[in-house]
Amino acid sequence: MSAASIRTRQTMAALTGTWVGTSRMRLMPDDPYGESPATATVRPAARGSFATVAYTWTTDGVEQDGFLLLGDGADPGTAVAVWCDSWHQSPHWMTCEGTVQDQRITVAGSYLGGDTTAGWRIRIDASDPAVLRIAMDNVLREVGYQVVDARYERA
């Protein structure tokens, strides 16, 4: 197995542990961001073949949570994910595909079935070993805007 084909696992393995920070979220592009305390826990799964990210935050006084299962894609430099979230993507999970490069993973999926013009893009930035960043963009007709900007430090 080449080094390129295990980049998703390597990137996520470096993030293993518990993280605390702040999640900023907005609904529409012109809305101000609201902030809340946030947590994330990264763990290996299936003997290290995959990684999980379980995260929490609060919006409008209600605690929310989400879960990502991440793995290597079929081709070097690609990533796959399954995502569910109590606020953004519920009650069905979303399958996502994307890339991994320079400790950054980007995956995207559609929330309108086969219609790829509406969905979510999730960006995980592990380029700084002391900071985990997770951003989520809503994508409509191939134009995206950031909805979530979460920044965590090791607990």
Residue 115 is predicted with a pLDDT of: 65
Say whether pTM exceeds 0.95. Answer: no
Residue 3 is predicted with a pLDDT of: 47
From residue 105, give the alpha-carbon distance in Å to each of 12, 40, 87, 113: 9, 16, 22, 23
Domains of the chain are 4-154 (2.40.128.20)
pLDDT in tens, the chain (155 residues): 444 445 888 889 889 999 999 999 999 999 999 999 999 999 999 999 999 999 999 999 999 999 999 999 999 899 999 999 998 887 889 999 999 998 999 999 988 766 667 899 999 999 998 999 999 999 987 788 999 999 999 99
Beta bridge partners of 152: 21, 132
Taking alpha carbons only, the member of 13, 23, 29 closest to residue 86 is 23
Residue 2 is predicted with a pLDDT of: 45
Interatomic CA distance for residues 21 and 154, integer angstroms: 9
Residue 1 is predicted with a pLDDT of: 44
Residue 116 is predicted with a pLDDT of: 65
Residue 4 is predicted with a pLDDT of: 44
